[in-house]
Chains A and B, each alone.
Chain A
Amino acid sequence: MKNTSILFGSGFLMALVMAFTFRPIDLPYGMAKGTPEIKSITSLTFGPEGVLFIGDSKSAAVYAINTKDNEFTKEFSTVEVQNIDKKLADKLGTTVDHISILDIAVNPTSKRVYLAIQSADGTPVLMTLEGEEFAPVSLENIEYAAVELNNSPAEDAKDGRGRSLRISSISDMGYADGKLLVSGLSNQEFSSTFRSIPFPFSDIQDHASLEIFHAAHGRYETTSPIKTFTTAEINGKDYLVASYTCTPLVLFPMDELKAGKHIKGRTIAEMGSGNQPLDILNVKKDGKSYLVMANSNRPVFRVNFEDIASFEGSLTEPVPDNFATEGVDFVSMPLTNVQQLDKMDDGTMILLQRKSNGSLDLWSTDKAEYLLR
């Protein structure tokens, strides 16, 4: 009898312990706790309340992680890190030629700078900048949610065939109005996939996969891949401002971006040959809004949004002989070799720039107000 009551007693105790141990805790944004299998960190963008989206091109997935870096501050300290690649390499115990900085993102809430670094052997590292020091962000046992991007029609038709040779690379990401926007390109098809994925991610795969067409001067149309994009309000309407691998800058009304629709953008400028758009963002300064674009073989361009709004044309006519950048009026800023762009606040940019002395510097433009004047 005594044994039975001990048995019952201990059973009850165990049940009680189990009930408390395994009681599910509701994590925000449908996240779960664990260690995501992140194979690469190729792009970064912030969502709401310190949620960081990590674009993983190698796994064709996006991870939303809760950084818990969610304390609002309006102030930020000036960033000026010279030879950032050397400093990072030192901290990682290697040489500069063994690391690359693939993206930077500023948490709009805390104004903390995050860096996506990749070592030569492919190991991804996420770091934050604390003053002049770097601190690794652990990706183990964190709160996260994930969404897979690969939905090629062959996925379910395959059986017993080797690993796919297809790569779905993420070229850029952005977050606006509860939606994660992802532009991607594949190594196989020359096409543009643009996804608008509601966040929190849901089990229902209702994210739109859009085919965006780009017409060259009204005549030849391709589904060219988007390299980088931003969203902006022009004349009270939301637009996607996208730059292509083949250089044109194109506007799409956001409300027209619906799955299965043949969407044609309005070309507002062509950036010229031998150039790749690298990063694009919009900034506000003294009541004016600008679109700022970093390029591989051109200085950083700046365009006033008012000019875009008043530019009614589309580049439908053949380009005249002078081959200048066509369309809206672009101003070259005194900034060359800018590899990455983001903003500390509405009017302050942060740049990763290869200076003329060869040094790779990360710096904020708060002391260079002339840039947006």
Chain B
Amino acid sequence: MKYFSPKIRLYSLHSLIFFVLVFLHSCSQNQEDQLNIVWENEKAVGLQIPKDISIDNLEIRLVQDEERTSMLGRFEETNNGMIFKPLIPFTRGLSYELVSGDKQLGQILIPFPDMGDAYPELIAAYPSQDTVPENLLKVYLTFSQPMKEGVALNYLTLLNSNRDTVPGVFLNLQPELWNESRTQLTVWLDPGRIKRDLIPNLEMGAPLKNNQRYELLVSDGWKAQNGLELGARVSKSFIVIQRDSISPNPDQWLITTPKTNSRDQLKVDFLEALDYSLLQEVFTIKNEDGKNIPGVWELGFEEKAIAFSPDENWKTGNYTILIEIRLEDLAGNNINRLFEVDLEQPNQTKTNDGFYKLNFSIKE
């Protein structure tokens, strides 16, 4: 926690200024007579303007050393006066002024959020095992807070065993692939370098080399949506093993069937790590009548297994596990098709639609 200390001070300063501002205001005026921030989902979406201020010539401006210009937004009448709603929420850490003509009527700082868990942290990186195939295709990073988009490659570095930065490893994709809550980022390793015989592959070689140790660094300073930064750099080491040119084969998976009349887990062991994100959603279990069995799926250690806990007790009978064939391994090979199909080896491509089916029975 050591690395937090400068920010604690910084934060305290901000909150102190804010507190003093609010305090000064509240000494002389009541709540309705001062500027107030309107919050929505932790975003400063509006500014409550006191009743006695006239809308004529009223402007909101960002306080800065350079020329201050009137912000785009709209004024809405409320019972307590007016609310100014900017086009985008006010930025935390910046100050804004309320101006009428040349006269400043008030100024307010948009504070950083409360301490503690508001600082972003990298909570997971997938694949989670410490060996990856030479043709690893993607990495998922999970954060504790919604992050700022579009800057990922400034904060991601891959170091080789000599502690040298490996250049051009990640695909510079804009817009970046964030989930809706902006807490998970998908980063592709440059496919032009992975795909054999393309110029990038011939010129620079594959991004990762067999038998080498690497370290993925996520640097500090990466800002979360709330304006706070990643406190410390985080790294993940891994060793590269030979390329994976074999599709996942569900027929070889090990299935541990539960007992009847129990809520024991159904366990499926893949014997290799598969894609973290796809694993979350490609499985369905149906009974003999074709009805879905409701329950909860739980990923196993290092994404090598998955377990299913039914909401109700298992009944004796035959069941089918449906697996969407788009399920991929770490190298982008899915159940029906390899990441790159060698056209000189016929019959490798199958359809890309539908499900693979695995059957199991629960006996008396």
Point out residues on A near B: beta carbons under 8 Å: 39-40, 42, 57-58, 90-95, 98-100, 102, 118-123, 125, 134, 136, 152-154, 157-167, 169, 185, 187-191, 211, 215-224, 244-248, 262, 270-274, 276, 278, 296, 318-319, 323, 325-326
Contact yes or no, B352 A167, CB < 8 A: no
Cross-interface CB contact of B88 among A123, A160, A164, A169, cutoff 8 Å: A123
In the complex, which residue of chain B has the Cβ closest to the Cβ of A321?
B202
Contact yes or no, B344 A157, CB < 8 A: no
Contact yes or no, A276 B171, CB < 8 A: yes
B-chain residues with CB within 8 Å of residue A100 when the two chains form the complex: 149-150
Contact yes or no, A121 B89, CB < 8 A: yes
Contact yes or no, A161 B297, CB < 8 A: yes
For the complex, is B36 an interface residue (Cβ under 8 Å from A)? no
Contact yes or no, B62 A93, CB < 8 A: yes
Distance in Å: Cβ of A114 to nearest Cβ of chain B: 15
Contact yes or no, A160 B332, CB < 8 A: no
Cross-interface CB contact of A157 among B146, B202, B292, cutoff 8 Å: B292
Contact yes or no, B277 A39, CB < 8 A: no
Query: B24-32, B75-83, B182-190, B209-217: which one contacts chain A?
Result: B182-190
| Cα distance A192–B60 in the bound complex, in angstroms | 46
For the complex, is B342 an interface residue (Cβ under 8 Å from A)? yes
Contact yes or no, B192 A247, CB < 8 A: yes
Contact yes or no, B344 A219, CB < 8 A: yes
A-chain residues with CB within 8 Å of residue B71 when the two chains form the complex: 91-93
A-chain residues with CB within 8 Å of residue B146 when the two chains form the complex: 121-122
For the complex, is B115 an interface residue (Cβ under 8 Å from A)? no
Query: B99-107, B117-125, B172-180: which one contacts chain A?
Result: B172-180
In B148-196, the 8 Å CB interface with A consists of: 148-150, 167-168, 171-175, 177-180, 182, 184, 186, 188, 190-193, 195-196
Contact yes or no, B281 A158, CB < 8 A: yes
Q: List 5 A-B contacts (CB under 8 A).
A: A91-B71, A120-B225, A169-B175, A215-B343, A273-B200
A-chain residues with CB within 8 Å of residue B96 when the two chains form the complex: 93
| Cα distance A360–B225 in the bound complex, in angstroms | 23
Secondary structure at the B interface, as helix, strand, loop or mixed, is loop
Cross-interface CB contact of B277 among A122, A162, A165, A296, cutoff 8 Å: A165
Cross-interface CB contact of A136 among B87, B89, B352, cutoff 8 Å: B87
Contact yes or no, B352 A211, CB < 8 A: yes
B-chain residues with CB within 8 Å of residue A271 when the two chains form the complex: 199
Contact yes or no, A188 B326, CB < 8 A: yes
**8 closest Cβ pairs, A-B complex:** A246-B192, A273-B200, A187-B186, A93-B71, A119-B88, A187-B177, A220-B340, A94-B91
For the complex, is B339 an interface residue (Cβ under 8 Å from A)? yes
| Cα distance A224–B150 in the bound complex, in angstroms | 22
B-chain residues with CB within 8 Å of residue A219 when the two chains form the complex: 196-197, 342-344
Contact yes or no, B353 A153, CB < 8 A: yes
Chain B: interface residue count, which band? 35 or more
Contact yes or no, B137 A134, CB < 8 A: no
In B328-364, the 8 Å CB interface with A consists of: 328, 332, 334, 337, 339-344, 349, 352-355
In the complex, which residue of chain B has the Cβ closest to the Cβ of A161?
B281
A92-B72, A216-B197 given; A122·B225 CB < 8 A: yes
| Cα distance A93–B223 in the bound complex, in angstroms | 19
For the complex, is B56 an interface residue (Cβ under 8 Å from A)? no
Contact yes or no, A248 B198, CB < 8 A: yes
| Cα distance A181–B291 in the bound complex, in angstroms | 37
Cross-interface CB contact of B341 among A157, A161, A162, A220, cutoff 8 Å: A220
In the complex, which residue of chain B has the Cβ closest to the Cβ of A227?
B173
For the complex, is B300 an interface residue (Cβ under 8 Å from A)? no
In the complex, which residue of chain B has the Cβ closest to the Cβ of A92?
B88
Cross-interface CB contact of A134 among B72, B173, B179, cutoff 8 Å: B72
| Cα distance A165–B344 in the bound complex, in angstroms | 36
Contact yes or no, B199 A169, CB < 8 A: no
Distance in Å: Cβ of A263 to nearest Cβ of chain B: 13
| Cα distance A326–B197 in the bound complex, in angstroms | 13
Contact yes or no, B172 A157, CB < 8 A: no
Cross-interface CB contact of A153 among B88, B195, B297, B324, cutoff 8 Å: B324
A-chain residues with CB within 8 Å of residue B341 when the two chains form the complex: 220-222
A-chain residues with CB within 8 Å of residue B174 when the two chains form the complex: 102, 278
For the complex, is B284 an interface residue (Cβ under 8 Å from A)? yes
A93-B60, A157-B322, A189-B334 given; A270·B281 CB < 8 A: no
B-chain residues with CB within 8 Å of residue A161 when the two chains form the complex: 280-281, 297
